[in-house]
Amino acid sequence: MLYRTAGQFKTSYTADQALFPVRQDAILLGVILVFAYLIFPLTASEFAFQTLLIPILIYALAAMGLNILTGYAGQLSLGTGAFMGVGAYACYKLITIFPWMNPIVAILLSGVFSAGVGVVFGIPSLRIKGFYLAIATLAAQFFLVWLFEKWAWLYNYNASGAIQVPNLDIFGLYVSGPQAASVTQYYLVLGVVTLMSILCINLTRGNLGRTWKATRDMDIAAELIGINLMRSKLVAFAISSYIVGVAGALYVFMWKGAAEPNVFDIPLSFQVLFIAIIGGLGSILGNYLGAILIVGLPVVLNLVPSALGLPISSAMVEHLNVMIVGGLIIFFLIVEPHGLAQLWRLIREKLIIWPFPH
Amino acid sequence: MLYDFLIQPFVDMATAPDFFLQVLWEGLVSGVLYALIALGFVLIFRSSRIFNFAQGIMVVFAALTLVGLHAMGVPAWIAVALTLAVMFVLAVTIERVVLRPLVGQPDIILFMATIGITLFLIGLGETIFGGENKVMISEELGIPTGDTVLEPWGGLLILQHLDITVVVVATLLVAGLLAFLNYTQMGRAIRALGDDHQAALSVGISLQTIWVLVWFIAGIIALVTGIAWGARAGVSFALEVIAYKALPVLMLGGLESITGAIVGGLMIGMLEKLFEIYWGQPFLGGNTETWFAFVLALIVLLFRPQGLFGERIIERV
């Protein structure tokens, strides 16, 4: 009923390929955007901003970057955490070397550095495939995190070895550091994420996206029909690392406020990979769904024991959380290996024909 | 500068051969353990094309179970037997609950599932046994302590008895495993499955039995590795990092090759130690062991994309 598509005719190929072939999709997105831009910021508590809204957006962005590489171009990467680190450290250096720089410009520029690093570590993908490539990206992961620790220039030689975000303002409004309000940070993150999403949706629908999909599905066949594999793979590495780098800069500047090198260690890479896979490889929507699940789940699980009045220590809750998350990952993989995005596609198809079975 | 970096380390090696041998020996011992973990990977990968990320955590889990059982008052050797039983139950459970429903899914999904298993086992281990560091029950298991001091060329070479035991036990385990794979019916079935799934199924080899068996063998290897590494460095979840070390070993040796796992493990163990002592600490600020193996494997892979001993990759469209 709600999703009835009757009466919505397509008279041209362009209309059929439009972003929203079904009007209800556009309305649904509009409602979500109203919530994201108006209702959440007005109603959310400080706790909700810091544990749910901001991290979900940042993780979704990082997963989107990874999804470009793994889901669209088919190159499995386990080095996402380190590339986020490159973005964060690049942003930190930009801010400290050019203190007059607009923070938003710095964040967007920092992705350029991680894109460069991404291309360098993407070069082996021209010869190495599959799991061998996945392990090769681990070389980037471990090497870069080691570099963050040992290269004192990166954290301005301070004694703690961590990067500390200064108070930064845009026209007098603090956007990062201890004085920044969560709402401001939320809007900034939301803006960047919206921008990147639009970019990704259009990239993956266009020529480049089709090139990537051909590379993913069978690279030799893609080469035979005239696709330049080297260009296709390296561009995928560059764009993916750019987005991941921006997510890393946001991660430290808009959320954590400070970061030690081990923050960017391999658990972060896996967390982002989980989001991309549970959400659905080769889908933009999936990144958001996956991020909501993976970020939201531990928060909810933390609340359960106290809500039920169970006497469990917080360390125990932590351990149980890890176990439950692991179990749920297996559960979701078994139930729907193509991810939550596929689940939504199925639901949507059911809704269109509802209440009839066919 | 260039001289310092390129020539001086070799001069150092030649002038102090006893120290060089000491470094080599320590590298060899860790190499043996890397090779053992890689062997668990290879067995599972060959028979099911599953890239088992959980191998490392199985090492920790086995060691934790052993120590935990002993702490509850179970005598050491019975605890070992019970731990083996736990690993068997684990193998059966993993096959039933995780692998069977996921048969035929893309490789990456199975890989993610093993990461799910990893998280689950970390959580389970911490819930049951607690997250703190524990001491391996080496004495109760009769693992010798002390050391032998050799004096080659008037130098000094210290061989820990523990390390010697590790090398001997690992060699025996590998020899036993190779004998099992080559001379028993079950072992040949495992290899057949590795060569061709469909052909193996058509001659009546049971996929499910073999998978349980392979995961159980991986569990046994994990227990041995866990005891050995735990005796050297204590039992905690920090042990997990050695699992990551097995990955470059696999890359270097090739994902399908048992020889590759052993040769790769020894090579990486020794080379990373040499690099750390002669190049890493003097020039790069140390702790290069975290990435050296990966970078080495990456460089080798650029020339041989299937690793040193892996199956040649043949692609058809």
**Residue located via tokens 């001091």:** B149
User: Cis link prior to A337 (omega < 30° from 0)?
Assistant: no
Distance from CA of B67 to the nearest CA of A (A): 19
Per-residue pLDDT for B11 more than 90? no
The pLDDT-based confidence of B154 (bands split at 50, 70, 90) is low
d(CA A59, CA A297): 14
Taking all residues of chain A, what is their mean pLDDT, rounded to a whole number? 87
pLDDT in tens, B277-310: 888 777 777 777 778 888 888 888 888 777 777 7
* Highest-confidence segment of A67-76, B145-154, B201-210, B253-262: A67-76
- What is the pLDDT at residue A64? 94
Q: Which pLDDT band, with edges at 50, 70 and 90, does B150 fall under? A: confident
Tokens of A125: 């993908």
- Chain A to chain B, count of Cβ pairs less than 8 Å apart? 137
* For chain A, counts of helices (H) and of strands (E): 16, 4
Average pLDDT of the segment spanning B192-211? 84
The reply to whether residue B98 touches residue A316, judged by beta carbons under 8 angstroms, is no
Banded model confidence at residue A252, pLDDT cuts 50, 70, 90: very high
Q: What are phi and psi of A169, to 5 degrees?
A: -135, 150
Q: Which residue of A has its CA nearest to B103?
A: A334
pLDDT exceeds 70 at position A78: yes
Predicted local confidence at residue B169, as pLDDT: 86
Tell me if residue A258 falls in helix, strand or coil.
strand
SS3 A174: strand
pLDDT at A59 > cutoff 70: yes
Phi, psi of A164 (to 5 degrees): -115, 125
Query: What token pair was written down for A53?
Result: 């809204």
What is A84-145 written as a DSSP string?
HHHHHHHHHHHHHH-TTS-HHHHHHHHHHHHHHHHHHHHGGGGT--HHHHHHHHHHHHHHHH
State yes or no: pLDDT of B152 exceeds 80.
no
DSSP states along chain B? -HHHHHTHHHHHHHH-HHHHHHHHHHHHHHHHHHHHHHHHHHHHHHHH----TTHHHHHHHHHHHHHHHHHTT--HHHHHHHHHHHHHHHHHHIIIIIIGGGTTS-HHHHHHHHHHHHHHHHHHHHHHH-SS-B---TTTTT---SEEEE-GGG--EEEEHHHHHHHHHHHHHHHHHHHHHHHSHHHHHHHHHHH-HHHHHHTT--HHHHHHHHHHHHHHHHHHHHHHHHHHH-BSGGGHHHHHHHHHHHHHH-TT-HHHHHHHHHHHHHHHHHHIIIIIHHHH-S-THHHHHHHHHHHHHHH-TT-SSSPPP----
Q: Look at residues A322, A318, A236, A335 and name the one whose alpha carbon lies nearest to residue A278.
A: A335
A106-159 confidence digits (pLDDT tens): 999 999 999 999 999 888 888 888 778 888 888 889 899 989 988 888 888 887
Q: What is the residue type of A327? A: G
* Owner of token pair 């000491």: B22
d(CA B126, CA B128): 6
Closest by CA to B41, choosing from B313, B307, B312, is B307
Residues 282-321 of A with CB under 8 A from B: 315-316, 318-321
What tokens were used for A276? 């991309």
DSSP reduced 3-state for A23: helix
The whole-angstrom separation of Cα B145 and Cα B164 is 10
Asked if residue A88 lies in contact with residue A260, where contact means CB atoms within 8 angstroms, the answer is no
The upper half-sphere exposure of residue B281, i.e. CA atoms within 13 Å in the direction of its Cβ, equals 7
Mind listing the pLDDT tens digit for each residue in A201-225?
999 988 999 999 999 888 888 989 9
The answer to whether the CB atoms of B127 and A150 lie below 8 A apart is no
Residue B317 has a pLDDT of: 62
Q: Which two tokens stand for residue B266?
A: 């020894």
CB contact under 8 A, B113 and A323: no
> Locate tokens 């081990």: which residue?
A262
CB neighbourhood size of B266 (10 A): 19
CA of A336 to nearest chain B CA: how many angstroms apart? Answer: 10
B102, B131, B306: residue with CB nearest A333: B102
Which residues of chain A does B305 touch, with a Cβ-Cβ cutoff of 8 Å? 127-129, 132
Does the distance separating the beta carbons of A266 and B131 come in below 8 Å? Answer: no
Supply the DSSP symbol for A167.
P
In this complex, the residue of A138, A149, A221 whose CB is nearest that of residue B247 is A138
B218-230: average pLDDT: 87
Span A47-353: which CATH code?
Answer: 1.10.3470
HSE toward the beta carbon, residue A317, CA cutoff 13 A:
17
The set of residues, in sequence order, having a beta carbon less than 8 Å from that of A210 and lying 6+ positions away, is none
Name the residue type at position B115: I
Amino acid at A216: R
Of A135, A149, A326, the CB nearest to B250: A135
Position B146 pLDDT exceeds 90: no
Of A128, A142, A337, the CB nearest to B291: A142
Instruction: Measure B299 CA to nearest chain A CA, in Å.
Output: 9
pLDDT at A86: 94
DSSP E strands, chain A:
163-164, 168-170, 173-176, 258-259
Condensed to tens digits (0 to 9), the pLDDT of residues B160-191 reads 788 888 888 888 988 888 898 889 888 888 88
Q: What is the pLDDT of residue A163?
A: 86
Instruction: Please give the ipTM for the structure prediction.
Output: 0.84
Q: Among A58-62, A172-176, A295-299, B209-213, which is the least confidently predicted range?
A: A172-176
What distance lies between CA B9 and its chain's CA centroid? 29
Q: What is the residue whose two structure tokens read 């290269």?
A: A151
**Residue A61: closest CA among A209, A325, A240:** A240
Give the 3-state secondary structure of residue A5.
Answer: coil
The two three-digit tokens of residue B169, written as one number: 């036990």
Report the pLDDT value the prediction gives residue A1, as an integer from 0 to 100.
Answer: 61
The C-alpha atoms of residue A358 and residue B228 are separated, in whole angstroms, by 62
- What residues contact B147, with CB distance under 8 A and at least 6 apart? B158, B159, B160, B161
Backbone torsions φ then ψ of B147, nearest 5 degrees: -150, 165
Strands A173-176 and A258-259: unpaired
A173: helix, strand or coil: strand
Give the domains, in start order, of chain B with CATH numbers: 2-303 (1.10.3470)
pLDDT at B148 over 80: no
Please, are residues A86 and A144 in contact by the beta-carbon 8 Å criterion?
yes
| CA distance linking residue B286 with residue A321, whole number of Å | 35
At A168, is the secondary structure helix, strand, or coil? strand
CB-based contact, A72 to chain B, within 8 Å: no
Q: Where are the domains of chain A?
A: 47-353
Token readout for A107 is 């964040």
- Beta strand spans in A163-241 (E): 163-164, 168-170, 173-176
How far is residue A29's CA from residue B13's CA, in Å, rounded to a whole number? 67
DSSP secondary structure code for residue A6 in this structure? T
Task: Report how far residue B309's alpha carbon sits from residue B227's, in angstroms, rounded to the nearest whole number.
Answer: 29
Could you tell me which chain A residue has the CA closest to the CA of B123?
A323
User: Does the structure show a pLDDT above 90 at B37?
Assistant: no
Helix (H, G, I), strand (E, B) or coil at A307: helix
Partners of B49 in the β-ladder? none
pLDDT at position B313 is 67
With CB atoms and an 8 Å threshold, state whether B305 touches A127.
Answer: yes
C-alpha distances out from residue B98 to A98, A331, B113, B296, Å: 52, 8, 7, 34
Q: Which residue has the higher pLDDT, B139 or B49?
A: B49
* Sign of the four-CA dihedral B285, B286, B290, B292: positive
Q: How far apart are CA A90 and CA A57, in angstroms?
A: 21
